[in-house]
Each structure stands twice: as C-alpha cells, then as structure tokens.
C-alpha cells in the first residue's frame, strides 16, 4: 500500500481529515524549505504538497506566481526539489510528499528518468496541473509501477464521465479544485462544493482533497466537513511574502495558521 | 507523396506534437469549442457567412503581386507577394478572428479575450468584437504595450480593455498565460480567441483552417498569373499562423518547397533569439507539445526579436511535425537582416512591410538569387509596417 493510501486509511479510522499544506519549493530561498516542511508536520500537516516552480505557471494566481519567481531566482529546479524531498525523508518516514507542478520540467528530465528519481527520493504522489489523463498514459504507467500515486484534478465543471476517468487513472487521492479560477482566487461557495462532492463520491471511492479558496481556520473547517482533505497554499505563501525580511517570523505565522486550521477541522 | 496529408488526429496530435495539455477546468470548454468547430466547419450557412465577411469586410481575396522590380534586382526567381498587408486592420490576423468570432456568436458567448504581441491580433480581435457588440479584453505584455503603443491606442478606440501583463518576461508568452488564467476564471461566458496556431487542440487545427484561405487563394492566383505551381513558399514564423495558412493548401504538392523563417534576434549563437525550431527542443507549453526555447531544467527562457509578433518561445505544433518529417524547412533571420529586408521592399516596391514579415523578405533576398529566373517564390507579406514606425525611428535615432 502506498504511503498516501495508508495515510488516508489511518485518518479515516480516526475520523480525522487530512491537512495538506502547499508550499513552493525554494521560496524564498532553497534552504528555507526543508525546515519549513518539518515545522508544518509538527503543526499538524498530514501530507505535504511541494510545488515545483515553473517559469509559466498558467493555473496559478499572483501569490504563487511570485513564489515561483522567487524560487527560480535562486535556480530552483525539479532536480533540486527532489534533493530537498530526499533530505526530508531522512528524518521523516511517515508524511507523504506530493510533487505539484507543470509537465514541462518533467518532460525536460524525461518521464522515465523522472519516475526513477522520484522513486529514489521516496516521493509519494505527483500532481501535474497541465497533464490531463488523455496525455498522461505513459507518465502514469511509469509512476504506478513504482508505487507513486498520480494525483488528478477535478473541477466544478467536471462531468460524471471525467470523474470516472480520473478515478481510473489516478490513485492516492483526487484533488477537487473548488472554484473556477486560479490559485488564491475568490471564495468558495459551500453549497456548490457540497453538491459537487455528492457527484464526485458517486463516481469514485478515492479520497477527495479540496483546495482553492481555503484561507483560514473557518474555511478549513467548512471544507473539512465536505471532503477528506483540505489543501491550503496561497494563504501560507502570503505569510512568506509578507515577511521576506524575517523568515523566522514567516515560519511562525505559517505554523500558527496551520495549528488553528488543525484545531478547527 | 502518395497518401494525402491528414493531420492532426482526433485528439489533436501531429505525431508526438500538439495535444491538449491543460488544467481540468479548461477541458469542458475546449471540448465544447471542438464540438462547435467540427459542426460549423462543414455547415454551409456558417461557411457562407464567413466567406461573405472575408469578402466584404476584410477585403478578400488579397492580391498576389508580382514584385517585378525586386525580382529583377535580385537577379533570380520571380517573387510574388501575397498581400495580407492589404486586409482590413493590416495583417493576416483578421482571417482568424473573423472565423473565431462567428463561432463565439454561434456558441452564445458574450465576452471575448485574446493575447497579443505586436498588437495586430489584439486589434483584429477588438475589431470583430466591436462589430459583433461583444465585450473584449486583450492581454498584452507590458514590454509590448510600450513598443507597440500605436496598436494599444487602436484597441482602446475599438472599445477593448487592454491589460498590461507584468509577470515573467512581460511579452507574448506571459500575455498568453494571463489570458488562460482569465479563461479558467470566466469559462461560462468567455470565448478565448487565440491568435496563432498554438494552444491546446483544437486551436492549432482551427486557426490553420481559418488561415488556409491565404494558401488557397495564392494557389489559384499563381495558376491564373503564371500558369503553374510556385517552386517555393516563404513566410515568417512566430506562432506560425501566416506560414501554415500559406503552406497548408500546398502540403500534398511535393514539388513546392516550404520555408518558415524564424527570428534570430541578435543571432542564434548569442542565445538572444526567438527560433525554437532552429535552436530549441521539444517540450510542453500553453497546451501543446512542440519545440520550445527552454533551459536544461525545462524552464522557458526569454526570447529576443526586434519584432514583437515573433517574440515567442514556442511555435505551432504542426510546424514541429513538418520540421521533423522534412516537409518544411526552417531558417532564421537576424534583426539586422530583417531591417535590410524592410528597407529593400520599401524602396524597391513602395511597400512598407511589418517587421515580422520583413524576416520573410530578408530570407527571400538570400533565396531568390540562388534560383532560376523562371522559378517562382510566393512570399507571405503578413502585415503592413505602420505599427512599426516608432520602433524603426527609435532604432535609427530619429525623433517622431
Ligand atoms: C504582421 C504579422 N506577421 C506575423 C506575425 C506572427 O504570427 P504568426 O507566426 O502566427 O503568423 C504577427 C504576429 O503578431 C504579425 O503581426
């Protein structure tokens, strides 16, 4: 059983929902990421989504765009993200790490080389925003034989047919993008999410994490009532951006926010 | 060639290139667009409306002009210019925006968005939006807003909102990113008119089909004027829409050479250029797999060209395929050479070309002398140079 599957199974036994922070690796500098990952686990994170910065983050709002730019200014790359994940595993064998990003850095490395490198780094899941199942066959096959879960996105306009397709292609969990828009946008409509989750559940038995629009303890609580996991990204990265001159402060604020979310969930 | 060219496949693949690499929220609108496009492509009423607009509003057919003096001067092949510069709004871009706007109307969309580099596509989009009474938002890199300020003003006059994009390199690719972000946010009422043969399927095929009027006319006109097929076709390649528009109707005519001209900027060897087919490698950007300018880590690198319309790190996936199969050849022309092409056409034929098109002119100056006097080159004069007066003057140290 993959580390992700085991994590969600364990959580569901205790009736707990997964808290899944997203940070961009290397933001604002490479040496900040590893201690932040450990701190987030201590604050109650169950899974970590580690963003791989890309020069053209088409699905991201301004906050994560700027995070990518800061990381790229320090020459962060897929290889270096994998190196950070490898370091993380040396002292944490429990918490699943999911790489989240765009397909081109993976293409540049080569699908097979990437799958091998991800396996060596003990990566648990790979979420590629611009690689829908139609284009993902080769990549998915290479990941699955290495026990790495391919994570797919669902959107408010996904049909039954699409959800079934994601259920077949994906594993670990499905990521429901709760609103039409980019990361960090708008606020979510609880009733809409509730309705959509019913449709999703009818078409998959995979755990469903919900992201986009989770900003604070209150929204985390609401979303936790609807899905199996809560993803928070831009709200955390905003703390980094607000404290670029005092990163210790940034880390403290991120931890405080996660603790508040964890308690509220 | 025995088998007829039949690309892309139904999922939008040109061999390994093309496809549909987009975030999940964009899958439903892209499927909806593809269905509408497949339906109307063969709908006689739609075709009739499109043809009427192209004739009465755009001014088609555009002339195929035998540049006799220039041909004589160069001492080789006979050069014919396909005069897309004479279209309404001054470039080939409107062939495509007219078509996509008619689709948008059929699909009941009330809001149009587009990206633009040189501003020609933005102007062509704002123009059709004005005519159909649709809300229009144009994304343009902040760098391009400055160097193509005349076109920004035109778009505003036409009622469009022009958003200066400040992210990344602040040029065409970033405008495309921002337009995609808008689309994902407003999918229900918004139609995204992509300006070149890039983007996810069905855009590369759809934009090609709308631009193929260039080659269909040219083929007939060449037959009428010279009594035969041309020997070579030359067109500049940014995303590649004017080039594929000219090439496509000739693809099965294997005697016709097809040559795409990329922007070499300061020179390929300097790294400061916009020539992914000549000097890049395959990757995925903006919804399709194609040749890209990227670093070893797969990050897209900044491009350089004197012409904003060629300043793009990718290229339409069909060109990637035509390159790999050898059906088309891709060459490159530096900024300096393009300026020579610009001046040559202006002084020799009294036609001021766009800086984009000037790349095709400059290559023609190399190609024609190496060919026989009874051979024929058709060059796509994709746009007129009015928009570039500021850039030219600045480059030559003249205050306007
Ligand atoms: C006059 C002109 N020619 C060519 C281009 C390049 O586009 P494409 O390669 O799609 O024809 C542009 C783009 O702005 C243009 O304005």
Domains contained in chain A, number: 1
Numbers of helices and strands, H then E, in chain B: 16, 15
Interface subset of B 230-259, CB within 8 angstroms of A:
none
Question: Which residues of chain A lie closer than 8 angstroms to B287, CB-CB?
Answer: 130
- Whether residue B154 is predicted with pLDDT greater than 90 in this model: the reply is yes
| A90 C-alpha to ligand 1 centroid (Å) | 52
Residue A134 at interface with chain B, using a CB cutoff of 8 Å: yes
Question: Which of A106, A153, A182 shows the shortest C-beta gap to B24?
Answer: A153
Question: Which residues of chain A lie closer than 8 angstroms to B284, CB-CB?
Answer: 102-104, 107, 130
User: By CA distance, what is A75's nearest residue in B?
Assistant: B297
In 3D space, the residue among B50, B63, B155 whose CA is nearest the CA of residue B98 turns out to be B50
* Ligand 1 atom with minimal separation from the B384 CA: 1
Please pick, among B82, B84, B93, B262, the residue that the annotation labels catalytic: B93
Express the helix, strand and coil content of chain B in percent, nearest 5 each.
50, 20, 30
Residue B31 at interface with chain A, using a CB cutoff of 8 Å: no
Q: Identify whether the C-beta of residue B90 lies closer than 8 Å to the C-beta of residue B309.
A: no
Question: How would you write the pLDDT of chain A (265 residues) with one tens digit per residue?
Answer: 899 999 999 999 999 999 999 999 999 999 999 999 999 999 999 999 999 999 999 999 999 999 999 999 999 999 999 999 999 999 999 999 999 999 999 999 999 999 999 999 999 999 999 999 999 999 999 999 999 999 999 999 999 999 999 999 999 999 999 888 888 877 778 999 999 999 999 999 999 999 988 999 999 999 999 999 999 999 999 999 999 999 999 999 999 999 999 999 9
Quote the minimal CA–CA distance from A231 to chain B in Å.
17
Question: Which of A62, A153, A185 shows the shortest C-beta gap to B185?
Answer: A185
- Whether residue B341 is predicted with pLDDT greater than 70 in this model: the reply is yes
In whole angstroms, give the CA distance from residue B274 to residue B338. 13
In whole angstroms, give the CA distance from residue A200 to residue B5. 42
With a 6 Å cutoff on the Cβ, whether B351 touches ligand 1 is no
| B242 C-alpha to ligand 1 centroid (Å) | 7
Q: Which residue's alpha carbon is at the smallest distance from atom 12 of ligand 1?
A: B309
Task: Give pLDDT, residue B224.
Answer: 98
In 3D space, the residue among B194, B171, B197, B177 whose CA is nearest the CA of residue B117 turns out to be B171
In 3D space, the residue among A221, A205, A128, A135 whose CA is nearest the CA of residue A173 turns out to be A205
Question: Which residues of chain B lie closer than 8 angstroms to A157, CB-CB?
Answer: 25, 28-29, 187
CATH of the domain at A48: 3.20.20.70
* Burial of B45: CB neighbours in 10 Å, binned 0-12, 13-18, 19+: exposed
Across the interface, do A130 and B19 touch by the CB < 8 Å criterion?
no
Q: Fill in the DSSP letter of residue B112.
A: E
| B228 C-alpha to ligand 1 centroid (Å) | 28
Q: Which residue's alpha carbon is at the smallest distance from atom 10 of ligand 1?
A: B241
Instruction: Write out pLDDT tens, residues B2-46.
Output: 579 999 999 999 999 999 999 999 999 999 999 999 999 999 999
Q: Identify whether the C-beta of residue A143 lies closer than 8 Å to the C-beta of residue A4.
A: no
A84, two tokens = 């950070």
Instruction: Write out pLDDT tens, residues B290-303.
Output: 999 999 999 999 99
Does residue B382 carry a catalytic annotation?
A: yes
B21, two tokens = 């690499």
Task: Give pLDDT, residue B37.
Answer: 96
With a 6 Å cutoff on the Cβ, whether B71 touches ligand 1 is no
Task: Give pLDDT, residue B43.
Answer: 96
Find residue B285's DSSP bridge partners: B288
Quote the minimal CA–CA distance from B184 to chain A in Å.
5
Across the interface, do A130 and B23 touch by the CB < 8 Å criterion?
yes
Strands (E), chain B: 13-14, 17-21, 64-66, 78-83, 111-116, 135-141, 161-165, 190-192, 232-236, 257-267, 272-274, 281-285, 287-292, 328-334, 376-381
| B322 C-alpha to ligand 1 centroid (Å) | 19
With a 6 Å cutoff on the Cβ, whether B354 touches ligand 1 is yes
Quote the minimal CA–CA distance from A130 to chain B in Å.
4
In whole angstroms, give the CA distance from residue B203 to residue B215. 19
Across the interface, do A182 and B184 touch by the CB < 8 Å criterion?
yes
Question: Which of A108, A135, A159 shows the shortest C-beta gap to B298?
Answer: A108
Task: Give pLDDT, residue B1.
Answer: 46
Instruction: Write out pLDDT tens, residues B73-127.
Output: 999 999 999 999 999 999 999 999 999 999 999 999 999 999 999 899 999 999 9
Q: Above pLDDT 70, what percent of chain B?
A: 100
Rounded to the nearest integer, the mean pLDDT of chain B is 96
What Rg value do the Cα atoms of chain B yield, rounded? 19
Residues 6+ apart with CB under 8 A from A113: none
Task: Give pLDDT, residue B38.
Answer: 95
Express the helix, strand and coil content of chain A in percent, nearest 5 each.
50, 15, 35
Residues 6+ apart with CB under 8 A from B294: A104, A108, B280, B281, B283, B300, B301, B313
Secondary structure, 3-state, A28-58: CCHHHHHHHHHHHHHCCCCCEEEECCCCCCC
End-to-end CA distance of chain B: 53
Task: Give pLDDT, residue B2.
Answer: 56
In whole angstroms, give the CA distance from residue A112 to residue A99. 16
Quote the minimal CA–CA distance from B248 to chain A in Å.
26
B83, two tokens = 């005069």
Instruction: Write out pLDDT tens, residues B161-220.
Output: 999 999 888 989 999 999 999 999 999 999 999 999 999 999 999 999 999 999 999 999
Residues 6+ apart with CB under 8 A from B16: B282, B289
Residues 6+ apart with CB under 8 A from A92: A37, A38, A41
Range of the domain at A67: 3-8+16-264
User: By CA distance, what is B22's nearest residue in A?
Assistant: A130
Q: Fill in the DSSP letter of residue A246.
A: -
With a 6 Å cutoff on the Cβ, whether B353 touches ligand 1 is no
Across the interface, do A135 and B21 touch by the CB < 8 Å criterion?
yes
User: By CA distance, what is B185's nearest residue in A?
Assistant: A181
| B293 C-alpha to ligand 1 centroid (Å) | 18
| B200 C-alpha to ligand 1 centroid (Å) | 19
């Amino acid at each position: 059983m993959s580390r992700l599957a085991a994590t969600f199974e364990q959580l569901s036994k205790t009736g707990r929902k997964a808290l899944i922070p997203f940070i961009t690796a290397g933001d604002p500098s490479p040496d900040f990421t590893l201690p932040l990952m450990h701190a987030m686990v201590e604050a109650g994170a169950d899974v970590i989504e580690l963003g791989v910065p890309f020069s053209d983050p088409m699905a991201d709002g301004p906050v994560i765009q700027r995070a990518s730019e800061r990381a790229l200014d320090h020459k962060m790359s897929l290889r270096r993200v994998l190196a950070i994940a490898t370091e993380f595993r040396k002292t944490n064998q429990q918490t699943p790490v999911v790489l989240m990003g765009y397909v081109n850095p993976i293409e540049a490395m080569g699908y097979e080389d990437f799958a091998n490198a991800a396996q060596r780094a003990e990566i648990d899941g790979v979420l590629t925003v611009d690689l829908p199942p139609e284009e993902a066959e080769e990549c998915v096959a290479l990941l699955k034989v290495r026990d790495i879960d391919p994570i797919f996105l669902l959107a408010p306009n996904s049909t039954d047919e699409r959800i079934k397709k994601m259920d077949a292609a994906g594993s670990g969990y499905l990521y429901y993008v709760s609103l039409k828009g980019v990361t960090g946008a708008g606020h979510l409509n609880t009733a809409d999410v509730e309705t959509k989750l019913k449709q999703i559940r009818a078409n998959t038995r995979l755990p469903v994490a919900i992201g986009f629009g989770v900003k604070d303890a209150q929204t985390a609580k609401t979303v936790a009532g609807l899905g199996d996991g809560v993803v928070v990204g831009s709200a955390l990265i905003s703390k980094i951006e607000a404290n670029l001159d005092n990163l210790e402060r940034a880390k403290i604020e991120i931890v405080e926010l996660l603790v508040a979310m964890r308690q509220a969930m | 060639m025995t088998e007829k060219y039949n690309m892309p496949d139904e999922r939008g693949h040109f061999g390994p290139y093309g496809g549909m690499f987009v975030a999940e929220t964009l899958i439903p609108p892209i499927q909806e667009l593809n269905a509408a496009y497949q339906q109307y492509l063969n709908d006689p009423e739609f075709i009739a409306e499109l043809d009427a607009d192209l004739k009465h509003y755009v001014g088609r057919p555009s002339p195929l002009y035998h540049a006799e003096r220039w041909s004589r001067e160069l001492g080789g092949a006979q050069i014919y210019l396909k005069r897309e510069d004479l279209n309404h709004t001054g470039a080939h871009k409107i062939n495509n925006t007219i078509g996509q706007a008619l689709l948008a109307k059929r699909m009941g969309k009330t809001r149009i968005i587009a990206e633009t580099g040189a501003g020609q596509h933005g102007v062509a989009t704002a123009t059709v939006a004005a005519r159909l009474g649709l809300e229009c938002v144009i994304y343009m890199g902040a760098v391009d807003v400055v160097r193509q300020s005349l076109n920004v003003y035109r778009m505003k006059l036409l009622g469009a909102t022009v958003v200066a994009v400040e992210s990344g390199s602040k040029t065409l690719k970033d405008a495309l990113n921002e337009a995609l972000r808008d689309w994902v946010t407003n999918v229900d009422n918004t139609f995204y008119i992509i300006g070149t043969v890039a983007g996810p399927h069905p855009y590369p095929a759809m934009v090609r089909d709308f631009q193929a009027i260039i080659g269909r006319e040219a083929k007939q006109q060449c037959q009428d004027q010279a009594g035969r097929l041309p020997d070579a076709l030359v067109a500049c390649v940014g995303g590649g829409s004017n080039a594929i528009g000219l090439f496509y109707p000739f693809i099965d005519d294997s005697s016709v050479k097809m040559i795409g001209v990329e922007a070499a900027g300061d020179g390929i060897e300097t790294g400061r250029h916009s020539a992914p087919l000549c000097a890049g490698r395959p990757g995925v950007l903006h919804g399709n797999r194609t040749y890209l300018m990227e670093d070893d880590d797969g990050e897209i690198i900044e491009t350089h060209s004197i012409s904003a319309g060629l300043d793009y790190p990718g290229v339409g996936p069909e060109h990637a395929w035509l390159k790999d199969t050898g059906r088309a050849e891709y060459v490159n022309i530096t900024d300096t050479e393009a300026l020579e092409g610009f001046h040559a056409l202006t002084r020799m034929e009294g036609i001021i070309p766009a800086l984009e098109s000037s790349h095709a002119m400059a290559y023609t100056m190399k190609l024609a002398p190496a060919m026989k006097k009874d051979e024929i080159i058709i060059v796509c004069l994709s746009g007129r140079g009015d928009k570039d007066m500021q850039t030219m003057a600045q480059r030559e140290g003249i205050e306007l």
